[in-house]
Amino acid sequence: MTVMEFESILKIAVPVAAYILFAPLLGGLLAGIDRKITARMQGRFGPPVLQPFYDVLKLLEKEAITVNSSQDFFVGCSLLFMIVTGCLFFAGLSLLLFIFALTTASMFLVAAAYSSNSPYAQIGAERELLQMMAYEPMVLIAAISLYIVKDMTFNIGDMVSSGVPAVILLPGVFLGFLYILTIKFRKSPFDLSMSHHAHQELVKGLTTEFSGKTLAMLEVAHWYENVFLLGFVFLFFANGTLAMAVVGVVVCLLAYFLEVFIDNVNARMKWQFALNSAWIVALTFGAANMLIVYYRLFGGGV
């Protein structure tokens, strides 16, 4: 193996290992801060910041009770693909592979809910599919828009190192992506399929029949997911310079706490509103911005 080949492998292996090891720590810490801020906004003291970790450890110690063996399999596959999705992203590989892996992880979660035969879980699974229909168009528009402004490449590594921050050319796409983050972070008004607060008519939605280690795996998967979604936000600001890297990290944190604020000042909406509003935002902010930039850069030529 040559020195260059070793450096190439190391360039991929280090961020992947860092993501696998530290993403759940960061995701759990963000969840703990989320709970603390939520409690203070509601006039409560709130649990300790490390409470999410205590909860997961407690779930891991509980007796394994599942409706059927396929349930654990599907949830395990969902966790696995969440980790793979983040690895693809932080390894700097194709943005399209990242989106396909993310969708696959969500589909395994839906399959796990359907396998339980619980009416609450099945309705939650149906709502999860509706949420996927709501946010997927904006995610694809964001990927195609980044491809256009980042020298016609889907390679995430090239996007991070190229010259102009994408947010300058794609402010509408960025705002549209922030909008659908409320769905992906499972915050009100779009916590339709499941809720961490158990305050909806579906009890816990698609996770109603999950418990113990199964529920712990799902919670860790959500932590992994939150981290690479914030990484996607970072893509709009990255241009290979330290200054924009710092700006990107700050915006990621502000975006997360904006979602916490939205979660606490909005009641849950109906699924029709989530679907219609997400598509309207995707068309008016995302698609319009993408077409404007395309014609500006290429004059409509192929």
Q: For residue 142, give its domain range.
A: 12-298
Residue 5 in any domain: the answer is no
Residue 76 in any domain: the answer is yes
Residue 193 in any domain: the answer is yes
Residue 241 in any domain: the answer is yes
Least confident of 13-27, 155-169, 195-209, 223-237: 195-209
Residue 4 in any domain: the answer is no
Residue 231 in any domain: the answer is yes
More confident call, 1 vs 247:
247
Residue 89 in any domain: the answer is yes
Residue 200 β-bridge partners: 203
Task: Band the pLDDT of 224: cuts 50, 70, 90.
Answer: very high
Give the separation between CA 186 and CA 194, rounded to whole angstroms. 7
Question: Cα dihedral angle (97, 98, 99, 102), rounded to 10 degrees?
Answer: 120
Least confident of 57-61, 247-251, 265-269: 265-269
Prediction pTM value: 0.91
Residue 178: predicted pLDDT:
95
Q: What is the mean pLDDT of the chain?
A: 88
Residue 1 in any domain: the answer is no
Task: Band the pLDDT of 206: cuts 50, 70, 90.
Answer: confident
Residue 302: predicted pLDDT:
44
What is the arithmetic mean of pLDDT over 204-233? 89
Q: For the chain, how many structural domains are there in total?
A: 1
Give the separation between CA 34 and CA 127, rounded to whole angstroms. 24
Structure tokens of 47? 């649990």
Structure tokens of 173? 């796409």
CB 236 within 8 A of CB 174: yes
